[in-house]
Amino acid sequence: MFSAIGTHGPVLSPLADLMLDILFVSFAFVLFSMSKPSKMQSLMFGAFVLVIVASRILFQPLPNVQPVTLAVLLMGAHQGAQRGVSFAVLVTLLSNVFIGDGWWTIFQALGWSAVALLGATFVSKTNEMLDFKSLLILSAVSAVLFDVITTFSLVDSSTTPIDFLSLLYSGLMYDFFHVIGNMSFVVWFGHTMQQFLLPLPEITEDVQMVEDVYVVRG
């Protein structure tokens, strides 16, 4: 499966690369479908994925300024962990087709998935706009969380804990970019993104509506 061990980890053969991509995409779709979305919700979800993929490509020249992080955080906060993780994986895979794919893709997907879980876990799942200050703080924490997880893509068998800390130290500048970038996105687009995500009913409401229909019919 691995043709060589490269600098950034195992070098995947083309077939293995394809299989891994299929696996991840399948996982994302399965996860999303488990949340039982309506057609409208699926369409809006897909549109949001495309918009965020495009924005990530657009902001690529700015080092580590990632609009994806805020989008994933809000998706997890307003739509739950399943849709959040699904969103994170799909955005990562699709945008890396244009930006560059490799071993690090796995860690980016894991990093953003963790951000989605952070949003789902620590933010109140109410149908309300999130507290602005909390969002600012969470966006900063998300940046650091994502960067630490993606640093693991540079770890190999010879990496010591000191080496890992050295890698983290070397990335401090880019972590700072990510934090400030996220906070900038919050103040500029946070409100708009939340308004877009809020109308999508949450999972519990979907289930309740279905139950209500059956009760009425019954």
Q: Which residues bind other proteins (CB under 8 A)?
A: 4, 6-9, 11, 62-63, 65, 100, 102-103, 154, 158, 162-163, 165-167, 169-173, 176-177, 180-181, 183-184, 187-188
Q: Is 193 exposed, middle or buried (CB count within 10 Å of its CB: 0-12, 13-18, 19+)?
A: buried
27 vs 176, beta carbon nearer other proteins: 176
Q: How far is the CB of 157 from other proteins (least distance, A)?
A: 11
Tokens representing 36 are: 């039982």
Tell me, what amino acid is at 78?
Answer: H
* Nearest CB to other proteins, comparing residues 8 and 36: 8
For the bound state, the minimum distance from the C-beta of residue 213 to other proteins, rounded and expressed in Å, comes to: 41
CB of 131 to other proteins, least distance (A): 14
CB 78 within 8 A of CB 202: yes
Minimum Å gap between C-beta 169 and other proteins is: 6
CB-based contact 198:78 (threshold 8 Å): yes
CA distance from start to end of the chain = 54
